[in-house]
Amino acid sequence: MSLITSASHAGRGETSPGRPYWPTPDRSRGEEADLYQRDYLMRQIEQVGQMLARILGLAKGGRGDEALSLFDQAYAPLLGVGSRVVAVLDDGQLVDMLTSGANPDMRRVAMALGLLKAEADLYAGAGQPGEAAIRCRRAVALAGCLAARSERLLDRELAADLLARAELLELSAAQRLAVARVLEALGRYADAEDALFELIDEAPDDPGPVEEAIAFCQRLRPLEPERLAAGGLPLEEVNASLAELLRRPPSGAEV
């Protein structure tokens, strides 16, 4: 009876004579796939960065209409769709498209945020406040996503300007929670707390804002007292707010 031995399969994973050969997994294929994915992502980011630079250059030169015509090309590498489709997606769909996959790269979110903010500014300058508002709201959602998941990628100057524009808009509860998260990322802790408690007061039966506010206070407690004070919310106030939130009865409970 013939047996497949290690001698007949030297160097191919077999170590004991008389045992059937099981090939060693080819790890290089997985590594190549990861490398390809990283290269593909970098090409995406580079393409979008070049398009955004071109758009901003045209806008600075007073060629706003031409700049607006380029957003279909600018969004395509990130989302595979143009500006009009981006405008009709809801916030959750947009975030899901940008963060799909096992290991989403938040740089894609940061690039899309830059595009949305630039497009909103151009529509505002062109006297189209409705189109500007749509992009601004989407940008708020992406800024909140970045602040929560990769704060270091959040452009602080862009975020501050975005919040100033958002103050003039009617936002959903989810978008207002995103505003609070961005305020926190900017170190404006008192403003973030105000935004959260406004939501709680407006919808006292909604547990979502209460849970967000509790998590907010818990994130702040380990910070240095000087940092909290600079943000307008000393540690004693953080603790007082947390105690108040924890005393609240659960949603739907009889008081």
> Could you list the pLDDT tens digit for every one of the 255 residues in the chain?
443 344 444 444 444 444 444 445 555 665 665 665 677 778 888 999 999 999 999 999 999 999 999 999 999 999 999 999 999 999 999 999 999 877 788 999 999 999 999 999 999 999 999 999 999 999 999 999 999 999 999 999 999 999 999 999 999 999 999 999 999 999 999 999 999 999 999 999 999 999 999 999 999 999 999 999 999 999 999 999 999 999 987 765 544
- Check residue 222 and give its pLDDT: 97
- Check residue 26 and give its pLDDT: 56
- Check residue 27 and give its pLDDT: 54
So where are the chain's domains?
36-175, 187-249
Q: Which residues of 34-72 are buried (b: 16+ CB within 10 A; e: fewer)?
A: eeeeeeeeeebbebbeebbeebeebbeeeebeebbebbe
Q: Which residues of 154-176 are buried (b: 16+ CB within 10 A; e: fewer)?
A: beeebbeebbebbeeeebeeebb
- Check residue 6 and give its pLDDT: 40
- Check residue 103 and give its pLDDT: 77
- Check residue 112 and give its pLDDT: 96
pTM: 0.82
- Check residue 253 and give its pLDDT: 52
Report the Cα–Cα distance between both ends of the chain, in Å, rounded: 83
- Check residue 13 and give its pLDDT: 44
